[in-house]
C-alpha cells in the first residue's frame, strides 16, 4: 500500500505561521521534501526523529516527483513543504500529474501567502471601502511569459491593489508599467523582503518615483513582495469611509439598525 503525499503551505517564513494541520502532518511524517531556497529550515524541526528530510533546491521537477513517489512507497505520510500557499506559483499541477500516473494519493494544505504577510508586516490593508475592493495577484514577465491580456500594464489600468510576486529584480519594469497605466509618480508603493522571517524582514515604503532607489539602498534583490495600492497609508489619512457591516444604521441578520 502506498502512502499519501501532502503538499503543505509553510507560509511566508515564520515557522509559527504554518497551519496547525500542516504542523501535525510534519510531526507524523516519514519523509519531508522542503524548498530550501524559500522555506525557513526551522519549519522542518517539527518533523520527528528518524524522518527522511531532503532539500529540493538543487533538484529538477523529475527528481522531485521521483523522490515523492519513492518515499510514498515507504512511508504512510510524505510532506512536500512549499513556501506560502502551494496553489500560488507553487508548480502544484506539474508535481501532482506524475503522482496521478503512479496512483499515489495526494492532498493540499493551504498556507499563508507572502502577499498577506507583507501587508500584515507593514500594518496595511489590501482593501478599503470606496477606495479599492479588488486585489490582483500577479508578476512581471521574465523567463516565464505572461498570457495575452495579463501584462502588468493592462492589470494596473484597473487602479486596484496589485500584489506583484517574483519581480523585485524587474522593479524598473514595474515602474514603467504603472506609469503607462496612468499611476502618478506619488502613488505609494510598498516592498517587503522576507515578510515574517525572524530577524530578516525588511520593509521599504516609497512612491512610484523613488521605490527602486530605496530598494537599491537597502540591497533588496530577492524574496520580496511589491504592493502598489490606493489604500496604502490609509492610517494617516484625515478621514476614511467605514465599513457598512459595523455601521449602527446598517441592518443585517445579527443586528437591527439603530
Tell me what pLDDT residue 1 has: 66
Per-residue model confidence (pLDDT) at position 99: 97
* Interatomic CA distance for residues 176 and 174, integer angstroms: 5
- The β-bridge partners of 162 are 136, 228
CATH number for 114-233 (one of 3.10.300.10, 3.30.950.10, 3.40.630.30, 3.30.70.20): it is 3.30.950.10
Residue extents of the structural domains in the chain:
4-109, 114-233
What's the average pLDDT block by block, 10 residues per block, for the chain (258 residues)?
A: 92 94 97 87 88 95 97 97 95 97 97 97 96 97 90 97 96 97 98 94 98 97 96 93 77 78
Query: What pLDDT does 250 receive?
Result: 78
Number of other residues whose CB lies within 10 A of the CB of residue 192: 27
Quote the pLDDT of residue 252.
77
148 is written with which cell numbers?
495575452
At 39 the pLDDT is 83
Listing DSSP states for 132-155 in one string gives B--EEEEE--SSSPPPTT--HHHH
pLDDT reported for residue 244: 75
182-228: per-residue pLDDT in tens?
Answer: 999 999 999 999 999 988 999 999 999 999 999 999 999 999 999 99
**Which superfamily is assigned to 4-109 in CATH?**
Tetrapyrrole methylase, N-terminal domain (3.40.1010.10)
Do 4-109 and 114-233 agree at the fold level? no
Amino acid at each position: 500500500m502506498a502512502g499519501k503525499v501532502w503538499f503543505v503551505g509553510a507560509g511566508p517564513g515564520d515557522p509559527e505561521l504554518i497551519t496547525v494541520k500542516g504542523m501535525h502532518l510534519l510531526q507524523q511524517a516519514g519523509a519531508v521534501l522542503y524548498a530550501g531556497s524559500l522555506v525557513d529550515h526551522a519549519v522542518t524541526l517539527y518533523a520527528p526523529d528518524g524522518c527522511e528530510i531532503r532539500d529540493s533546491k538543487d533538484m529538477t521537477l523529475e527528481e522531485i516527483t521521483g523522490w515523492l513517489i519513492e518515499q510514498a512507497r515507504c512511508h504512510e505520510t510524505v510532506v512536500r513543504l512549499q513556501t506560502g500557499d502551494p496553489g500560488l506559483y507553487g508548480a502544484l499541477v506539474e508535481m501532482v500529474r506524475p503522482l496521478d500516473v503512479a496512483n499515489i494519493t495526494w492532498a493540499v494544505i493551504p498556507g499563508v501567502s507572502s502577499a498577506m504577510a507583507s501587508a500584515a508586516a507593514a500594518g496595511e490593508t489590501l482593501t478599503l471601502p470606496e477606495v479599492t475592493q479588488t486585489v490582483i495577484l500577479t508578476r512581471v514577465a521574465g523567463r516565464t511569459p505572461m498570457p495575452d491580456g495579463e501584462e502588468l500594464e493592462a492589470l494596473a489600468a484597473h487602479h486596484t491593489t496589485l500584489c506583484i510576486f517574483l519581480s523585485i529584480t524587474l522593479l524598473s519594469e514595474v515602474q514603467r508599467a504603472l506609469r503607462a497605466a496612468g499611476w502618478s509618480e506619488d502613488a505609494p508603493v510598498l516592498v517587503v523582503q522576507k515578510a515574517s522571517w525572524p530577524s530578516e524582514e525588511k520593509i521599504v515604503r516609497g512612491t512610484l518615483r523613488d521605490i527602486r532607489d530605496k530598494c537599491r539602498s537597502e540591497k533588496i534583490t530577492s524574496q520580496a513582495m511589491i504592493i502598489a495600492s490606493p489604500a496604502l497609508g490609509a492610517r494617516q489619512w484625515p478621514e476614511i469611509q467605514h465599513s457598512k457591516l459595523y455601521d449602527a444604521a446598517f441592518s443585517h441578520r445579527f443586528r437591527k439598525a439603530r
